[in-house]
Amino acid sequence: MPAKKIFLDDRGWSIHDIFPELKGGQLNYSVLFPGIVKAWHRHKKQTDYFCVVMGNAQVAVHNPDTGKTETHFMGELSPSLLVIPPKLWHGYIAVGGKPCGLIYYMTERFNPEEPDEERAPWDAFGYEWAPRNR
């Protein structure tokens, strides 16, 4: 089995296609450093399954049809699985001052020749990524 490619930049690091034997989809792991917003993107066909297994994250999902954005806090302190269907914009940020580790399953294998991905700026949709004092 070939060695996995690890990607590293100023936002964090990731390893893709952890189990290449999976038919159809793809399993990845990504670590996001504190203070970094990784948003927004969406898919035409692909459904994403998010599970934060290290640290904690604020995950936002924006529905362009309704104009509404949902916020989900998930991770070590609130273990859960979030299903993100096609066409919904989504992104996340580590919360709590530590990196967050996201394991995610994509129902479509990534194809660099024809990526099923559309991007928007991190500050789109008027969403506030910074913590709010209440």
| pLDDT tens by residue, 96-130 | 999 999 999 999 999 989 999 999 999 999 999 98
> What CATH code is assigned to 6-111?
2.60.120.10
What's the count of helices (H) and strands (E) in the chain, helices before strands? 0, 11
Q: How confident is the model at residue 23 (pLDDT cuts 50, 70, 90)?
A: confident
Per-residue pLDDT tens over the stretch 52-105: 999 999 999 999 999 999 999 999 999 999 999 999 999 999 999 999 999 999
Please give the distance of CA 27 from its chain centroid, rounded to a whole number: 12
Q: CA nearest 73: which of 42, 94, 98?
A: 94
Tell me if 92 sits within 8 A of 38, measured CB to CB.
yes
- Domain ranges, ordered by start, for the chain: 6-111
Strand 56-63 relative to strand 89-95, pairing: antiparallel
Percent of the chain with pLDDT over 90: 87
Q: How far apart are CA 64 and CA 132, in angstroms?
A: 24
